[in-house]
Every structure is written in structure tokens, then in C-alpha cells.
Structure 1
């Protein structure tokens, strides 16, 4: 599959549910610009990493829309303790270890200086308490490590829409887990409706596992299914629901009925314009 401009915009969710309220998501503005900028590299990444079925694409995009705050940013906007090693890219690479793993995959040699930095960072990561870790990270900021300037530069490339790295790093993350995320995306869909007011979104055990790996790096059955441990899981499901509607032939269960379109939803038109 190769998604055209209109097809990619159609996958972008028209609605998102947060705290029992529905909010419309417009395709105009920053989201359109980012989708347009990434489309070709996103399609190339899908082919390179075999995210090449409707279910795999839906699993990827359902998470990507939430990770990028509805396609408005390629860099995590937060003040968490681990900055400046916060999330970058479509699926948000985080922490020096994950950046270095990707760079090694690209054939880059990781210097002993960076390895030493990574070891020191790892010790902070294992400390208890975000305030403690944030205090310790003050000495780990870029300005104190001019010898690592090259790594700081290529780290920023992963959040630049002008390069392939926001998409390519995310495809690498998808396949580099101990179990490729595609394994979970390929599982049979047991769709379950979640109705909030006049609309429904859908979740499934398969997508729950996909979101687990995106968030934690691995899936664990010890996490309560559909619990609150996954950041923004309902929002991810809204993106997933819309992608299933656009990319697959699946029907949406609603009591005794099988719906073509989820309850209360409207599709974008063939050009990806907002539903009227």
C-alpha cells in the first residue's frame, strides 16, 4: 500500500474522546502541514519495515497520532526529568540508550565518551523519585558535554520534518523490540465498542498489546487490559478506530448490528477534508 495525500489525511482522526467529552480534530493548520511533509517518507518507512498491511498501518498510526499530539509536533513537549533526551520522531524515541541503538543500526560508531555518558544517565534512570532524577540531570545537560555535540546534532535530526529520521526511527522502533509490534497488530481483531454520549470508539486486545509495546518497549500480560497504565489509551483508540474505518473492510459491532461507520462518526471526504 502507498497512501496518497488524500488517503493519509482521511486516516487522521476527526474526533477524539478525552475525559468523557468529544473534541473535533481539524485537518487544517499544523496537522496538514506535518502530514504533507512526512507523507512520502512515511510511505517509504512502511515499505522498508514491512508495516504493509491495513492492520499494521492502523496500529502504527493510531499510536502515532497521539504520540505527536495529533500531528502537531515531532518532539515531546514536557519538563520531565529526562530532558534533553525526551521523545522525538513519530513514535517518540526516548533516552540515550534507544537513540544509540538506532544510530548503531544506521552504522554509526558510538564513541567511548557517549558510552560513559550513557552509563551515568542509566544510574540516574534507576533512581527513585522524579524530583531526585531531575536534580541529578542538571549536570547531564548538553552544555556540559561539548565533546558530544555531534550526537546532540543528530538527535535533533530525529525531530526535523526535513529529514527521513522522524519516520525511519519509528519504523526501526516498531521492528526492533524483542517481539516485533507487527506480531500483535496481526492478531485477529476482537473489537469492542466504548460508547461515550452520541459516539463510539473501538478497542481490542490486539491494539492494547500494540500500545503497550509503543509505551513500554514490551508487552506484559500483568498490566490490566484497558487499564490506565497506557498514557492516552482512549485517544489512541480513537485514531485506531478511524484508521480501521478507512484502511480495512472490518465492520464495527454495535449490539446485534455490524456498522460500516462507528456510531456518531462522519468520514472525511476523498481529499481528506473535515467532515461536515
Structure 2
């Protein structure tokens, strides 16, 4: 896709949940020369070919997740930020404690890069590898511990060498790694087998701060999203535990409109709509 075509897959408006209510908001795309979008859309084109994300439906599932996880192609890292006062300097400092000793990076927000490092042929001491795996597994399913243990600062993990830190940080700021790690994760998680299922679109009308707005979902897209974000809920269709699924659907709908000839269901359930409702589709 050209730059203009790629931009059209990013919805003009998006939806997110805030304090139990839905917020409908404008989605702005930074096209500056050094922006995430401008630097990485060529590499995303390459990795979609490399990892066989090569049908319109596979691309729509991949982009529906990648666009939302990067906050509309605006950043390539996540992280729960905890602020506390430094006892020595009395200054407030920010700490990343989410998924310690790593937090998500790349276009599918890889939280555990160890397997990707192995895939790339990067080796480090087995004892350190075992220690990292143990730390990750200890905290992966324990949100209370992740959120409340203020000693879990990502940079304080013992044994992290400058080389390993540079590998990790490439997943955020490198030219190749943010997109390539997402392609790796696509394959590792088996997203393709879910993306290849029938996409039966369901129209969802939601009350938002800007009135009633519409997005589209399907069980195929749900499963493709769940397998990389919340695999334990793969068959618990539309579980509220999957973070940001409504927003993912906004990107999914735009990608479908640009990449496929599918029609969207109208308010009567008839497939008559050429484009998504609620002014989600960009024209340029």
C-alpha cells in the first residue's frame, strides 16, 4: 500500500471506554517525516508479505489490532506508569512496572520478547534466560502484584546487560524490529487460522459522549484478536476482559472498507452499506 492507502486504513474516528462509558473521538495521524506512521508503514508492508499476512481479511485482522495497540499508529510501546516520590531527591519519578521486567513494544505490543530474541538468533546466558522467564511467568497472571509492588522497576532487574537492553529497546525504536516482531507474533500465535474464517459482520450501535455511533465486529476478528491478547478467552466471544476490542473494531471496519469488497449491515441487518457508518472512513 502507498502512504495514502495505508493512512486510509486508520479510522477517522475511534471509540474507547473511559470510566465505564464510551468516548467517540477524532483520530489524528501524524505524517511528519520522523513520525511512527511515516517511518514504519513501508516496513509493515514488507512484513505482511514476509509473514504471509497476504489476504485482505488477514491484513484487516492484523491492522485492526496493530493500529489500536499503537494508539492509532502513534507509539510503539505501552506500560503502566506508576509515579512515586524519590526519598533522596524529593522529586516525583515515573516507573514502568507492567509486565516487569519488560513491557509491551512493537506493533503487537510484544510483552515477552525472549522467544523473538531466540527467533533472531540472539543468545544470552541460560541462567539469565531462566530468571527472566520465571519473573515474567510469576507476574503475567497477577495484576495485583504487578500494580502494587513498587519495587518492580523495569530498569532495576538484576543482570540486564547494555546489550540485552538495546535488543529490547529496538522493539520500540528500531526501524526493523517493531514491525518484524509483530509478524513473528502473528505466526507464533496462529492468528491466520482465525483470520481465514468467515467474517460475518455484526453492526453495533453504542451510546457515546457524541451520541449514538456504530462499529462492526465478527467472531473471526474476535478470535484473531483474542489469540494474541487474551488466549484464555478465545471461545468466550466478546468478553469484556479483552482490552480495547471496541476500538480495534473501528480500525478493523476501516481496513475492511479499503481492502475488501465486503458490504456492511445497515440498521435492519441488511448488507447494503458500501462503507462503515458514523463517518469512520478517511477519504485521503
2:107 matched residue in structure 1? 90
Q: 1:193 to 1:110 in 2, by over 3 A?
A: same
| CA distance in 2: counterparts of 1:133 and 1:234, whole angstroms | 24
Query: What's the offset of the Cα at 1:163?
Result: 1.9
Structure 2 gap ranges (5+): 82-96
1:188 matched residue in structure 2? 198
**2:245 matched to 1:246?**
no
1:158 matched residue in structure 2? 171
| CA distance in 1: counterparts of 2:34 and 2:259, whole angstroms | 19
| CA distance in 2: counterparts of 1:115 and 1:264, whole angstroms | 48
Query: What's the offset of the Cα at 1:267?
Result: 3.2
Query: What's the offset of the Cα at 1:66?
Result: 1.4
**2:210 matched to 1:208?**
no
Structure 1 gap ranges (5+): none
2:278 matched residue in structure 1? 264
Larger relative strand fraction: 2
TM-score (norm 2): 0.82
> SS at 1:227's partner residue?
coil
Q: Which runs of 4+ in 1 moved over 4 A?
A: 29-32, 126-129
| CA distance in 2: counterparts of 1:157 and 1:253, whole angstroms | 42
2:247 matched residue in structure 1? 235
- Deviation per residue, 1:43-92 (Å, 9 max, x gap): 11001100011111110111111111121111113234424400000000
| C-alpha RMSD over aligned residues | 2.5
| CA distance in 2: counterparts of 1:175 and 1:47, whole angstroms | 12
**2:45 matched to 1:43?**
yes
Query: What's the offset of the Cα at 1:263?
Result: 2.2
**2:6 matched to 1:8?**
yes
| CA distance in 2: counterparts of 1:119 and 1:198, whole angstroms | 45
How many correspondences in the alignment?
A: 259
Q: 1:227 to 1:133 in 2, by over 3 A?
A: closer
Answer yes or no: is the 8 Å Cα contact 1:31–1:70 preserved in 2: no
2:158 matched residue in structure 1? 145
Q: 1:30 to 1:67 in 2, by over 3 A?
A: farther
TM-score (norm 1): 0.84
Answer yes or no: is the 8 Å Cα contact 1:13–1:25 preserved in 2: yes
| CA distance in 2: counterparts of 1:126 and 1:58, whole angstroms | 28
Answer yes or no: is the 8 Å Cα contact 2:99–2:146 preserved in 1: no
1:108 matched residue in structure 2? 122
2:27 matched residue in structure 1? 25
Answer yes or no: is the 8 Å Cα contact 1:199–1:262 preserved in 2: no
Answer yes or no: is the 8 Å Cα contact 2:6–2:41 preserved in 1: yes
| CA distance in 2: counterparts of 1:174 and 1:121, whole angstroms | 24
Answer yes or no: is the 8 Å Cα contact 1:30–1:72 preserved in 2: no
Q: 1:54 to 1:263 in 2, by over 3 A?
A: same
- Deviation per residue, 1:193-241 (Å, 9 max, x gap): 01234532100000010110121256631x2x21211101110101101
1:175 matched residue in structure 2? 187
| CA distance in 2: counterparts of 1:66 and 1:13, whole angstroms | 10
Q: 1:146 to 1:78 in 2, by over 3 A?
A: same
